[in-house]
Amino acid sequence: MRVLVISDIHANYAALEAALKDAGEVDETWCLGDLVGYGPDPNAVVEKMREINNLTCLLGNHDVAVIGQMPLETFNGGARRSLEIHEKVLSASNKEYMRTLPSKTAVLGEATLVHGSPRNPLWEYILNSLTARLNFEHFDTSWCFVGHSHIQCMFALDEEQDRVSLEKVKPDVPIKLHRKLILNPGSIGQPRDRDPRAAYAIYDTTARTWTPRRVSYNITEVQQRIRAAGLPEKHAVRIAEGW
């Protein structure tokens, strides 16, 4: 089965559309959360997700906040300002749809899915081998797919050597999966690994491979929409530089 794995779309419809087109035909789509926040098109993104067949979609911390299940004060100034705007413009129908989605860990076959980390599904960032090590104890499947950090990466646990390493990943280079791994497809709408292209991954459940992917989109047009929506200037600047 060919699975599209996406995360952290953050109301960037142009980036989502580019990724869906680039991925081509897939059997299922798994989304690790954060449909909203930062970007200019929360309604368009949620509506597009609602159209996707065979979708498994988790909520991220921004999603939970915008539907009133987490205080907006939890977020820093720029993120909070974006959520305040999204809370006002999101349609009642889209909010109701988001309330039907889970915010906790999901298990699909050999994969555990979560937004942040297995031990803290909404908030913890897995950014280094120490945090990864602590989280390998919190899932029983062969691998775990996480988002939240906006960084396309992979952590591997060598169970014989008891060593955790951060492994390099390259776009379009398939990774043969083995026990035990934590993999991040990167962010569709706001990458933070110095590559501004939308990031996602293709997971082949039969071949047991993970292929990181990147695709370009019209960043300038999205920047214009961010500014027109009255969102913080920082969010327009960073999508062009990947930070």
Per residue in 136-182, pLDDT (tens digit) is 999 999 999 999 999 999 999 999 999 999 998 999 999 999 999 99
Distance CA 90, CA 150 (A): 23
- Give me the count of residues in the chain: 243
The residue assigned the tokens 């602590």 is: 134
Q: How many domains does the chain have?
A: 1
Inter-residue contact 143 to 177 (CB < 8 Å): yes
Look up the pTM and report it: 0.98
Helix (H, G, I), strand (E, B) or coil at 5: strand
CB contact set of 197 (below 8 Å; sequence gap of 6+)? 191, 214, 215, 216, 217, 242
Q: What is the pLDDT of residue 168?
A: 86
pLDDT tens for 13-34 read 999 999 999 999 999 999 999 9
| Cβ atoms within 10 Å, residue 21 | 10
Q: What is the mean pLDDT of the chain?
A: 98
In percent, the amount of the chain with pLDDT more than 70 equals 100
CATH of the domain at 143: 3.60.21.10
Q: What is the span of the domain harbouring residue 101?
A: 2-241
Mean pLDDT value across residues 33-40: 98
pLDDT tens for 182-237 read 999 999 999 999 999 999 999 999 999 999 999 999 999 999 999 999 999 999 99
> If residue 4 lies in a helix (H) or strand (E), which one and from where to where?
strand 2-6
